[in-house]
Amino acid sequence: MAFNTFQLQAPAKINLFLHITGKRDDGYHLLQSLMVFVDVGDTLEFAPHDSLFLDVDGPFAGDMPAPSENLIYKAAGLLAAEYKTTMRGRVRLTKNLPVASGIAGGSSDSAVAMRGFVKLWGLPEEHERMQRLAQRLGADVPACFIGKPVWAEGIGEKMTRLPEMPQMHFVLANPMVATPTPEVFRRFNSKYSPAIQFSGRRKSMHEWIADLKLYRNDLTDAASEVTPEIKQVLRALAETPNCHFARLSGSGATCFGVYDNADAAMAAVNKLKQLHPGWWISPANLLR
Ligand code: ATP
């Protein structure tokens, strides 16, 4: 890596649960969700350059939109307009996360791109101003800017950072069928969940798991209509030894299983890879 070049990780997001509690007059759904981030993600490498240049590589580079549509470009444009500066820098995105898969790969890339451009362009680190810009980039971007467990309400804009959570071990599995979020919301026609009071005051991993099992992802039926393979993924995860529960993340199609330790998660990964060689399957640990 050349001098002045630096790398940032854009972690995947998991919705440990996601309840839809209503709909606003403008059509946006109201939700309550516990969003966490894991040690699996895309990588962004930044280097000085006098104009803005984006390279994409990695296993899912081929599924990406044109560079001008990339959320990294949009983050650069917004930041440059806000701080009245020019867009510049060479960014190499290594796309490790499947695209349109419910784990906020694009949102995380754009949140991390904001951090990268702030550093590269020598801008001040102004958290609240950044959060306002992040909101304009997408509903999940402010949470991705935090990158640690958050309790999200409203249309996702009301966020409370949770106190430290115990380590949790996951397996992520995706059937490799892109599942566009707007299509899933269009099909959502279940009853709304009652709003819950949620506090992060649980101690052990087992207390957390026992509580999380009581909740659900309300988008599961709608997402399974769009991508029927989701049901198969949930079943396959739930059938792996020592899986506490399996659930859909976001609007899918990525699902996750929760395990006691990294060994149990790895054993499940190996088994699922044998059974479903066409799926994207990865172990993941919580970023606390
Ligand atoms: P969420 O969980 O926030 O709904 P997602 O994981 O379902 O997000 P993304 O992978 O973030 O979906 O992609 C959503 C859309 O954004 C895709 O259709 C893709 O074309 C577009 N996009 C723009 N920039 C990026 C990027 N850097 N990475 C991935 N997708 C991007």
> Residue 67's pLDDT band (boundaries 50, 70, 90)?
confident
pLDDT attached to residue 187:
96
The answer on pLDDT for 2 being more than 70 is: no
**275: part of which helix (H) or strand (E)?**
helix 262-275
Query: pLDDT digits over 164-206, tens only?
Result: 799 999 999 999 999 999 999 999 998 999 999 988 777 789 9
Q: How far is CA 158 from the centre of its chain?
A: 17
103 CB under 6 A from ligand 1? Answer: yes
Of all protein residues, the one whose alpha carbon is nearest to atom 15 of ligand 1 is 100
pLDDT attached to residue 203:
77
Helix/strand/coil for 162 = coil
Q: State mean pLDDT over 71-77.
A: 97
Q: Is 166 exposed, middle or buried (0-12, 13-18, 19+ CB in 10 A)?
A: middle
User: How many CB atoms neighbour CB 80 within 10 A?
Assistant: 17
pLDDT attached to residue 38:
98
CA–centroid distance, 200 to ligand 1, in Å, is 29
Q: State mean pLDDT over 143-161.
A: 93
* C-alpha dihedral (94, 98, 99, 101), degrees to nearest 10: -150
pLDDT attached to residue 1:
61
Q: Which domains does the chain have, with CATH numbers?
A: 6-160 (3.30.230.10), 163-287 (3.30.70.890)
Query: pLDDT digits over 195-245, tens only?
Result: 999 887 777 899 999 999 999 999 999 999 999 999 999 999 999 999 999
203 is catalytic: no
99 CB under 6 A from ligand 1? Answer: yes
The answer on pLDDT for 92 being more than 70 is: yes
Query: In the structure encoding, which two tokens stand for residue 277, read together?
Result: 């060689």
CA–centroid distance, 104 to ligand 1, in Å, is 6
pLDDT attached to residue 157:
85
For 271, phi and psi rounded to 5 degrees?
-65, -45
Query: In the structure encoding, which two tokens stand for residue 195, read together?
Result: 């709003």
CA–centroid distance, 138 to ligand 1, in Å, is 10
The answer on pLDDT for 252 being more than 90 is: yes
The answer on pLDDT for 3 being more than 70 is: no
CA–centroid distance, 7 to ligand 1, in Å, is 20
Of all protein residues, the one whose alpha carbon is nearest to atom 17 of ligand 1 is 100
The answer on pLDDT for 57 being more than 70 is: yes
Q: pTM of this prediction?
A: 0.95
Q: 282 near 6, Cβ under 8 Å? A: no
140 is catalytic: yes
Q: State mean pLDDT over 257-266.
A: 97
DSSP labels for 231-288?
HHHHHHHHTSTT---EEE-TTSS-EEEEESSHHHHHHHHHHHHHH-TTSEEEEEEB--
List the catalytic residue out of 13, 42, 95, 109: 13
List the catalytic residue out of 42, 74, 95, 140: 140
- Which residue out of 38, 45, 69, 99 has the highest number of ligand 1 atoms within 8 Å of its CB and is therefore the one to mutate? 99
Q: State mean pLDDT over 79-106.
A: 97
Q: What is the DSSP pairing of strand 169-174 with strand 150-153?
A: unpaired
Task: Supply the mean pLDDT for the chain.
Answer: 95
Q: Which atom of ligand 1 is nearest to the CA of 108?
A: 11
